[in-house]
């Protein structure tokens, strides 16, 4: 009877989630519901699955009790609205009907076409139009008119009485009660961006749009039994039980070739070819591992997934010559390694394939493939062109109302002043706000609205490639990114049976790609950046790792990582892999990072629980660092097979839904461990350790992938530092701000020049030892001129004068002044102030039209000017304003004082335990929340010699001596040392005064 139910997926309209709707329906003994959310089908499959699951389990309970089992029949469709006006809603008769509805909506979303007032013909869909007392309906066979019981009086002499078989019960469901109706009003106000009191009634649901019992609903229509019969007949004609699958079936594309058998053969052929490339001939260990993986892949019907991923990587490496990184648990696979999907050798690192895929795994794994930030879109285009329409789409995400954002939104619809809203959003005023009745009211609404769906968005990189049209399961949106996107997230995708292909991006790959290109252009040398086995044995690279100064290198340049590398005295690949894992917040805060460092430096003092634990954890000195360590201990200590070990590992990380199944696995661990002959006390201690660690753990394969890329960056920076730092700058840096990388480029010995119209390009370029900053970094310079200036120079030669430059580029007065102030027209041989005089003389205070070609080159009159003074600090301030940093002026030289500190960073080891004074140029800071819910800060600075040092700011000192942004600071503190790494515990801290801009003083 309930043909038009809204869930909270009817964004900013519906207020009940799927679970609440089903629970309320059960309590009212309702036997059929149709979920029809507004302009989406996000919850359709979830609704069907949950209804079916509950019906099966509840029915079994009732049969055991001797009762007639209760059944709730789930149906689904879509309600279509245009400009907040209800047009009609569609109900799917069957699976084909869902596809028709989804494709109808998708077509209008993708091509941005307004929904029509009258629908086209559907083969497997019932369309319901809302009853209107002044409307004449011309209805197709599958079309009906829904009438509310409050509208029955309007049927008197209405033309619909001539089409009695077309009238059905229309009782929309949107809210649960009066409280949720008020929530609905708030959400409508937020959606319409208006005050709560100004939401038009027609844009809200009616107060009576709640679930009521079927008997009560029928009583409202008892004088019109034909309407009830029509409605029941319509419901009985629909069946979506085909969507219910007790065991998840894969929905991904089944075959890469023509069938499963040919996929298996092709994957084997490619893997064996890759095996020879990776391991050479006659490597029995690698071949045995490969055969084992291929058997599991074929058994799990995963050959197509590997082949599709291989095809993506092959396209990138072949025609496009793109560099990629395959990371995540997929790096546990030797098949992936041989297909060059990943560059991590799983045999070398003792990585278990079972961490990625095994016979008992129910949730689908996926590969994470990273490309350079500006190349990923090309790969995405390839995938969307290769696979048919409706068979490929981006994965969606569902964002929820966030705490502070809700308070702001509620405050706005209540008409509160901005200052009052700001005070309510300030967490430091929480205890004051709690006494305010207005704030208490906002908090009540906040508590109900929190975590409700707010808007649909797009996943960072997940792509679905489907065997049957994706539109059987969802309609598609068209976000600004420009690709069709499903209307549910990765969790729903997994439950439906989709494995995503993660096509991601990162700037670190851009650094590597461009550095390789620049090295070939600038030095004529070709680099095999995939020669990782050579890199990891390079003593020079390992020494730089040990010193902890890899600025610009992916994943290892942050202050925390630099400190860890120095504390570990990291000088090899395996230690870097471990460091990449223990640096993660969960591991660090649990105390395992400190335990690992202590044991790393004193391996002979490590006491292992037993021989099995020593054998499996000796690489990490008895500390479980990786997810794979949990698997190893469960397998070798407790005797579980590798598949069960991974299931247990996943369960302990909080990703297992069934408590009963988890308890069974825990019991199996103890029973199996006892069978190995271990004592009860030992088993309990091992279990305590793995259960406390599993939630923090990180995949070793993931860490190894990061470490490979770190070594590649480190190789380029070590042997080709100039080209590498230019590549870092042109790919928009990394952890630090841009000037840090410019400083690093200068440290390489490169002569770094300000932008010049006769030498610079849009980005930084390098020729020999000379690097010219690009126009992209100039604040206020328009994109048009960033591209045009170098393009015109390449076409028609160098600019010969200011006048010629203006004529050839048609530059505006304002834009020309920017370039002159920065010194970009220094080729003229004139100083900046003379050039400013000339540009005003030439262009005047109003821009002249120069859109015609001159027949003759007419020279402007010249004037004799007095000598105009220009100072270095004036230039530095111009660079600071236009670039964000001074290129040719040391930040320390801005200071009014000549004092540069009592000691330099290089002297710190001599002063451990002593109080010292230093002057440092601010680089960055990090705020950390302590266990006692207080804050402390960590700072990173450069001394006047250009060397890094780090500071620690405790809660008792920092409020008195706060950070005040970029600049130079006088620092008084005590030098402390932790595992050989020195830092300064700050006692006093002050930003130093600087010389003002002389232009500003004039």
DSSP annotation string for 5-52: E--TTSTTT----HHHHHHHHHHTT--EEEEEEET--TTHHHHHHHHH
Please tell me the predicted confidence (pLDDT) of residue 855.
41
What distances in angstroms separate CA 896 from CA 869, 900, 969, 972, 983, one per listed residue? 21, 11, 12, 19, 27
Q: Which residues of 44-82 are buried (b: 16+ CB within 10 A; e: fewer)?
A: bbbbbbbbbebbeeeeeeeeeeeeeeeebbbbbbbbbbe
Locus of tokens 């309930």: 2
Cα(900)–Cα(893) distance, integer angstroms: 10
Sign of the alpha-carbon dihedral angle for 197, 201, 207, 210? negative
Give the residues across from 74 on adjacent strands.
Answer: 33
Is 512 within 8 Å of 709 (Cβ atoms)? Answer: yes
Q: Which of 127, 163, 104, 162 is nearest to 36 (CA)?
A: 127
Cα(971)–Cα(940) distance, integer angstroms: 12
> Tokens standing for 240?
């979506």
Please tell me the predicted confidence (pLDDT) of residue 357.
86
Please tell me the predicted confidence (pLDDT) of residue 853.
44
pTM score, whole prediction: 0.83
Beta strand 765-767 with 485-486 is unpaired
Give the residues across from 88 on adjacent strands.
Answer: 80
Q: What angle do CA 513, 517, 520 make, to 5 degrees?
A: 145
Q: Output the CA torsion 773→778→782→787 (10° steps).
A: 0
Reduced DSSP (H G I as helix, E B as strand, rest coil) percent helix, strand, coil of the chain, to 5: 50, 15, 35
Cβ count within 10 A of residue 819: 24
Cα(560)–Cα(584) distance, integer angstroms: 10
What distances in angstroms separate CA 555 from CA 620, 631, 713, 912, one per listed residue? 21, 26, 10, 29
Is 127 within 8 Å of 152 (Cβ atoms)? Answer: no
User: Residues in the chain with pLDDT < 70?
Assistant: 56-69, 362-364, 585-590, 653-661, 693-697, 845-869, 931-933, 957-959, 1000-1002
Cα(849)–Cα(843) distance, integer angstroms: 9
Please tell me the predicted confidence (pLDDT) of residue 172.
98
Please tell me the predicted confidence (pLDDT) of residue 257.
95
In 699-749, which residue ranges form alpha helices assigned H by DSSP? 700-719, 721-730, 738-747
Give the residues across from 399 on adjacent strands.
Answer: 455
Please tell me the predicted confidence (pLDDT) of residue 47.
97
Please tell me the predicted confidence (pLDDT) of residue 460.
85
Is 24 within 8 Å of 18 (Cβ atoms)? Answer: no
Q: What is the DSSP string of 549-618?
A: --TTSTTT-SHHHHHHHHHHT--SHHHHHHHHHHTSHHHHHTTHHHHHHHHHH-GGG---SSHHHHHHHG
What distances in angstroms separate CA 595 from CA 144, 199, 510, one per listed residue? 71, 60, 36
Start-to-end C-alpha separation, the chain: 81
Is 482 within 8 Å of 48 (Cβ atoms)? Answer: no
Cα(959)–Cα(902) distance, integer angstroms: 25
pLDDT tens string 843-860: 875 544 444 444 445 455
Name the packing angle between helices 418-425 and 437-449 (round to 10°).
Answer: 60
Cβ count within 10 A of residue 31: 15
> Tokens standing for 508?
């670190």
Q: Which of 727, 735, 398 is nearest to 557 (CA)?
A: 735
Sorted by sequence, the CB contacts under 8 Å of residue 146 that are 6+ apart come out as: 3, 4, 89, 128, 129, 130, 131, 168, 169, 170
Please tell me the predicted confidence (pLDDT) of residue 139.
93
Cα(72)–Cα(25) distance, integer angstroms: 8
Is 730 within 8 Å of 514 (Cβ atoms)? Answer: yes
Is 556 within 8 Å of 576 (Cβ atoms)? Answer: yes
Is 839 within 8 Å of 820 (Cβ atoms)? Answer: yes
Q: What is the DSSP string of 484-528?
A: -EESS-HHHHHHHTPPPEEEEEEHHHHHHHHHHHHHHHHH-----
Please tell me the predicted confidence (pLDDT) of residue 689.
80
Cα(466)–Cα(463) distance, integer angstroms: 10
For 384-391, the CB contacts below 8 A with 24+ separation are: 384/483, 386/311, 387/253, 387/465, 390/103, 390/106, 390/466, 390/469, 390/470, 390/471, 391/253, 391/465, 391/466, 391/467, 391/468, 391/469, 391/470
Q: Which of 500, 499, 497 is nearest to 247 (CA)?
A: 497
In 844-979, which residue ranges form alpha helices assigned H by DSSP? 872-883
Please tell me the predicted confidence (pLDDT) of residue 628.
82
Phi, psi for residue 399 in degrees, rounded to 5: -85, 150
Note the Cα 401 to chain centre separation in Å. Answer: 18
Cα(894)–Cα(876) distance, integer angstroms: 9
């Amino acid at each position: 009877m309930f043909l038009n139910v809204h869930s909270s997926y009817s964004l900013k309209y519906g207020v009940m989630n799927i679970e609440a709707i089903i629970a309320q329906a059960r309590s009212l003994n309702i036997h059929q519901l149709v979920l029809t959310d507004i302009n989406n089908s996000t919850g359709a499959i979830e609704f069907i699955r949950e209804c079916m699951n509950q019906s099966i389990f509840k029915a079994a309970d009732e049969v055991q009790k001797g009762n007639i089992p209760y059944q709730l029949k789930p149906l689904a469709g879509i309600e279509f609205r245009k400009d907040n006006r209800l047009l009609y809603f569609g109900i799917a008769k069957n699976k084909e009907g869902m596809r028709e509805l989804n494709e109808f909506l998708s077509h209008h979303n993708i091509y941005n076409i307004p929904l029509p007032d009258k629908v086209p013909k559907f083969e497997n869909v019932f369309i319901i139009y809302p009853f209107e007392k002044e409307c004449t309906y011309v209805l197709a066979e599958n079309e009906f008119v829904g009438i509310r019981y409050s509208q029955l009086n309007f049927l008197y002499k209405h033309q619909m009485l001539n089409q009695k078989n077309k009238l059905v019960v229309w009782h929309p469901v949107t809210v649960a009660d009066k409280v949720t109706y008020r929530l609905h009003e708030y959400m409508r106000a937020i959606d319409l961006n208006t005050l709560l009191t100004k939401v038009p009634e027609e844009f809200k649901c009616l107060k009576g749009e709640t679930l009521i019992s079927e008997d009560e609903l029928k009583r409202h229509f008892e004088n019109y039994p034909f309407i009830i019969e029509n409605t029941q007949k319509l419901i009985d004609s629909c069946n979506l039980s085909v969507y219910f699958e007790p065991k998840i079936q894969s929905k991904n594309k089944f075959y890469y070739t023509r069938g499963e058998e040919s996929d298996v053969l092709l994957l084997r052929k490619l893997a064996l070819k890759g095996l020879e490339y990776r391991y050479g001939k006659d490597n029995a260990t690698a071949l045995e591992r490969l055969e084992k993986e291929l058997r599991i892949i074929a058994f799990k019907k995963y050959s197509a997934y590997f082949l599709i991923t291989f095809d993506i990587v092959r396209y990138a490496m072949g025609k496009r010559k793109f560099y990629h990184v395959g990371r995540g648990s997929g790096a546990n696979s030797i098949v992936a390694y041989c297909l060059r999907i990943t560059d991590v050798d799983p045999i070398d690192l003792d990585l278990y394939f079972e961490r990625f895929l095994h016979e008992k795994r129910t949730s689908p794994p996926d590969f994470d493939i990273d490309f350079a930030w500006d190349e990923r879109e090309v790969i995405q285009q390839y995938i969307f062109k290769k696979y048919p329409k409706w068979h490929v789409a981006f994965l969606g995400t569902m964002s929820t109302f966030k705490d502070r954002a809700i308070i702001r939104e509620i405050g706005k619809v209540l008409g509160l002043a901005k200052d009052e809203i700001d005070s309510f959003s300030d967490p430091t005023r929480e205890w004051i706000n709690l006494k305010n009745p207005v704030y208490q009211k906002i908090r009540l609404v906040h508590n109900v609205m929190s975590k409700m769906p707010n808007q649909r968005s797009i996943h960072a990189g997940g792509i679905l490639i489907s065997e049957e049209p994706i539109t059987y399961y969802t309609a598609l949106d068209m976000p600004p990114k420009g690709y069709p996107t499903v209307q549910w997230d990765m969790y729903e995708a997994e439950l439906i049976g989709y494995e995503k292909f993660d096509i991601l991006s990162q700037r670190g790959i851009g650094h590597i790609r461009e550095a390789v290109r620049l090295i070939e252009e600038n030095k004529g040398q070709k680099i095999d950046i995939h020669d990782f086995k050579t890199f990891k044995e390079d003593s020079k690279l390992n020494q730089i790792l040990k010193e902890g100064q890899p600025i610009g290198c992916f994943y290892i340049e942050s202050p925390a990582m630099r400190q860890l590398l120095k504390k570990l005295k990291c000088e090899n690949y395996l230690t870097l892999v471990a460091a990449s894992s223990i640096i993660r917040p969960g591991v660090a805060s649990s105390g395992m990072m400190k335990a690992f460092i202590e044991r790393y430096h004193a391996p002979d003092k490590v006491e292992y629980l037993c021989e099995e634990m020593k054998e499996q954890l000796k690489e990490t000195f008895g500390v479980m660092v990786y997810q794979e360590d949990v698997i190893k201990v469960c397998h070798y200590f407790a005797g579980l097979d590798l598949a069960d070990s991974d299931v247990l590992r996943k369960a302990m990380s909080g990703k297992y839904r069934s408590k009963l199944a988890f308890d069974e696995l825990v019991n199996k661990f103890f029973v199996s461990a006892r069978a190995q002959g271990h004592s009860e006390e030992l088993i309990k201690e091992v279990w305590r350790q793995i259960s406390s660690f599993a939630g923090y753990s990180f995949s070793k394969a993931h860490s190894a992938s990061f470490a490979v890329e770190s070594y590649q960056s480190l190789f380029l920076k070590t042997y080709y530092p100039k080209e590498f730092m230019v590549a870092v700058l042109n790919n928009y840096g990394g952890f630090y701000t841009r000037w840090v990388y410019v400083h690093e480029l200068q440290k390489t010995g490169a002569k770094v020049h300000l932008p010049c119209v006769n030498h610079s390009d849009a980005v930084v370029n390098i020729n020999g030892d000379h690097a010219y900053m690009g126009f992209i970094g100039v604040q206020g310079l328009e994109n048009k001129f960033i591209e045009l200036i170098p393009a015109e120079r390449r076409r028609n030669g160098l600019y010969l004068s200011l006048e010629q430059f203006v004529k050839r580029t048609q530059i505006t007065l304002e834009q020309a002044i920017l370039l002159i102030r920065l010194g970009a027209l220094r080729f003229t041989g004139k100083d900046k102030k003379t050039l400013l005089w000339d540009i005003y003389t030439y262009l005047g205070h109003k821009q002249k039209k120069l859109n015609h070609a001159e027949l003759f080159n007419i020279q402007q009159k010249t004037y004799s000017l007095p000598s105009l003074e220009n100072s270095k600090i004036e230039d530095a301030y111009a660079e600071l304003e236009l670039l964000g940093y001074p290129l040719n002026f040391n930040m320390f030289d801005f200071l009014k004082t000549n004092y540069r500190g009592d000691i330099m960073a290089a002297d710190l080891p001599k002063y451990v335990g002593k109080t010292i004074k230093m002057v440092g140029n601010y680089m960055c800071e990090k705020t950390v929340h302590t266990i006692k819910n207080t804050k402390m800060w960590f700072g990173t600075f450069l001394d006047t010699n250009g060397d890094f040092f780090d500071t620690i700011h405790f809660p008792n000192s920092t409020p008195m001596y706060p950070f005040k942004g970029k600049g130079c600071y006088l620092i008084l503190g005590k030098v402390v040392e932790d595992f050989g790494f020195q830092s300064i515990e700050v006692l006093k801290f002050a930003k130093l005064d600087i010389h003002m801009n002389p232009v500003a003083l004039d």
